[in-house]
Amino acid sequence: MTTDVHNAAAAVAAPRPPGEVAVAGELLAQARAELPALRGLDDRAQLLAAAWLVSLRSARTRRGYAGDWLVWHGWLAERGIDVLAATRLHVDLWVRGQLDAGAAHSSVCRRLSALGSFYRYCATRDLIEAVPTVGVHRPAVDPYATTTVGLSRDEARALLAAADADTGPARLRTAAMIRTLLFSEPRVDELLGADVTDLGHDQGHRVLAIQRKGGTTKRIPLAPASFSALETYLLARAARAGLADWRPLDEPLLATATGGRLRQAHLWELVHRLARAAGLEAWDRLSPHSLRHTAITLALDAGASLRDVQDYAGHRDPRSTRRYDHSRQSQTYTLATYLT
């Protein structure tokens, strides 16, 4: 099927045999289901994007790159430029516009990575003669810096209290989700991608098997409070399904009322609502990733070694873990108060 997909992408504007048309239809259906935002494009643009994205192994990468590509495509469309006719000058102008608008250097670099991936794909399929991102200057990025807003220990406790005080039919799911994100440090998509059958037991610990970056599977330990909240939630789901135990459930670990998989947008809304209810000053700048950020930061502040936290968080590069070491930043804040 891979060869057929590439042939379809290389001839999106020309009549094709029925077999390639069928492959293109299947490709579009898969892409639209995973990335609904593509539906707003014409068929040609959708097929170009879908053929490129299907070549990427990681669902996380596909989602991130698709969002960046759509921003780029929209910028070109406003100027009447076809996505395959873009030149380095267009990329340079786009980058300058983002930086002038205050975009973070790391965000601009990530978007350039997405465009580079797309145009390299197109070049290898003879859709373009030159890759327009080659030679584009990338803004400098501090490898130890992060713009993610974290929580203090007291703020984390306040968020947990708000989750426990939440009402409505999803209150048990809310308590389980917030505890797992705060205590076990999974990435948001890793947690939302887990199924009930991924829960297990290893060396005396309750564990959850998650899909890490690169498609690797890792079992992460669940804190007793996290597993207790998850079990309470799952037992309630099992009871509604007429089951005496949650283990036969063959559904997402954190499910919608109809048994579907939760979307990240739901979690963003939930974190904002709970943080606001908890009286957190930065509630509107928090994200679901803030909970993972907080867990890693508090572990480092408590004296856990950088290596242990790196392994626990699933970071390949220790510099990624160092971004969460706020103890040095806290010392800077303290010194600032002494000098005023």
Please give the pLDDT value at position 32. Answer: 80
DSSP secondary structure letters along 169-197: TTHHHHHHHHHHHHHH---HHHHHT-BGG
Residues 6 or more apart from 267 whose CB is under 8 A from it?
A: 177, 188, 192, 288
pTM, entire model:
0.65
Average pLDDT, rounded, for the chain: 84
pLDDT digits 0-9 by tens, 122-162: 999 999 999 999 999 998 876 656 667 888 889 999 999 99
> 10 Å Cβ neighbour count for 199?
21
Q: Could you tell me if 225 and 219 are in contact, meaning their C-beta atoms sit under 8 angstroms apart?
A: no
Q: Which helix (H) or strand (E) holds 81?
A: none
What is the spatial distance between Cα 135 and Cα 128, in angstroms, rounded to a whole number?
A: 16
Type of residue numbered 315? H
What is the spatial distance between Cα 272 and Cα 64, in angstroms, rounded to a whole number?
A: 21
Q: What percent of the chain has pLDDT over 70?
A: 83
Angle at 67 between CA 64 and CA 73, to 5 degrees: 140
What is the spatial distance between Cα 128 and Cα 85, in angstroms, rounded to a whole number?
A: 8
Please state the domain extents for the chain: 2-124, 153-338
Report which of residues 61 and 269 the model is more confident about. Answer: 269
Please give the pLDDT value at position 304. Answer: 75
What is the spatial distance between Cα 278 and Cα 301, in angstroms, rounded to a whole number?
A: 23
What is the spatial distance between Cα 82 and Cα 71, in angstroms, rounded to a whole number?
A: 14
What is the spatial distance between Cα 321 and Cα 104, in angstroms, rounded to a whole number?
A: 19
Q: Could you tell me if 261 and 192 are in contact, meaning their C-beta atoms sit under 8 angstroms apart?
A: yes
Where does the pLDDT of residue 311 fall: very low under 50, low under 70, confident under 90, or very high at 90 and above? confident
pLDDT digits 0-9 by tens, 183-227: 887 888 889 989 999 999 988 889 999 887 766 788 888 989 999
Please, where are the H alpha helices in the chain? 2-10, 18-34, 43-53, 59-78, 88-100, 105-124, 153-164, 171-184, 188-192, 224-240, 264-277, 288-301, 306-313, 318-322, 327-338
What is the spatial distance between Cα 69 and Cα 62, in angstroms, rounded to a whole number?
A: 10
Nearest residue to 267 via CA among 192, 172, 159, 182? 192
What 8-state DSSP symbol labels residue 250? Answer: -
Q: Could you tell me if 205 and 221 are in contact, meaning their C-beta atoms sit under 8 angstroms apart?
A: yes
Q: Which CATH class is domain 153-338?
A: mainly alpha
Please give the pLDDT value at position 339. Answer: 43
What is the spatial distance between Cα 172 and Cα 180, in angstroms, rounded to a whole number?
A: 12
Residue 328 burial by CB count (10 A; 0-12/13-18/19+): exposed, middle or buried? exposed
